[in-house]
Structure 1
Amino acid sequence: MSAKFVLKVSGEQFMFNLQAANGQTVLTSERYVTKAAAIQGIASVKQNAANDSRYELSESGRHFNLKAGNGQVIGTSQHYSSEAAAHGGMDAVKRAAAEGLVDDQT
């Protein structure tokens, strides 16, 4: 299995999950009003994921947000057992975003 962005409908909105090659969701997007905006969100993840300064670790150190250059949150991680595991999750996002194709399930 390869990494992928799973694009789907959530209610009347669109969102995506970034799945690592092992199938685990490593990043979940915000909700978007249009499919085009969700696709732009995927492009933003691909553009920003490799940049360490775009990650914001929570105060608890157990989850993180990925932000665009304008500071807007474009994805949120799952909750991890430790700060070290959260940093491992950031590395997983970097790898998955670099190779992820879009699986359009809308």
Structure 2
Amino acid sequence: MGKFEVYQDAKSEYRFRLKASNGQKILASEGYSAKAGCMNGIESVRTNSQDDSKFDRKVSSNGKHYFNLKASNGQVIGTSEMYEGSSGMENGIESVKTNAPSAPVEEV
């Protein structure tokens, strides 16, 4: 089973990352000024990850594939790692859909 990790970055902002059961990071948040906002972001990932239309599939300027998970208001709540091809990206999306709803939250 995957897990959410909550941590503070160098600017003391709260962030989360969703990791798959193999420890690979599959989704990362932006910074939040308060821990409560970060926890709300995790709940938004749990909810929105079950709707395929909330995954915005992208190709970067260097040709790598990635995705953003968006909330109902269109705001990005998480961004994936970069993938060599679209199949890796699609596997990442499926991993978020599978892991996010029941992933425990750990503070690191």
- TM-score tier, shorter chain, comes to over 0.9
Alignment gaps of 5+ in structure 1: none
Counterpart position of 1:83: 86
Residues 11-64 of structure 1: per-residue CA shift (max 9 Å, x gap)? 210001000111111000111010000000000000100100000011356000
Q: CA deviation at 1:96?
A: 1.1
Residue pairs, 1:1-106, within 5 angstroms = 2-10=1-9, 11-60=11-60, 62-105=65-108
Distance 1:49 1:14 in 2: 21
SS at match of 2:78: strand
What letter is aligned with 1:8?
Y
Q: CA deviation at 1:66?
A: 0.2
Q: Following superposition, which runs of at least 4 residues in structure 1 exceed 6 angstroms of deviation?
A: none
SS at match of 1:33: coil
Task: State percent identity of aligned pairs.
Answer: 39
How many matched pairs? Answer: 104
Distance 2:51 2:30 in 1: 19
What's the Cα RMSD here? 1.1
SS at match of 2:23: coil
TM-score by length of 1: 0.93
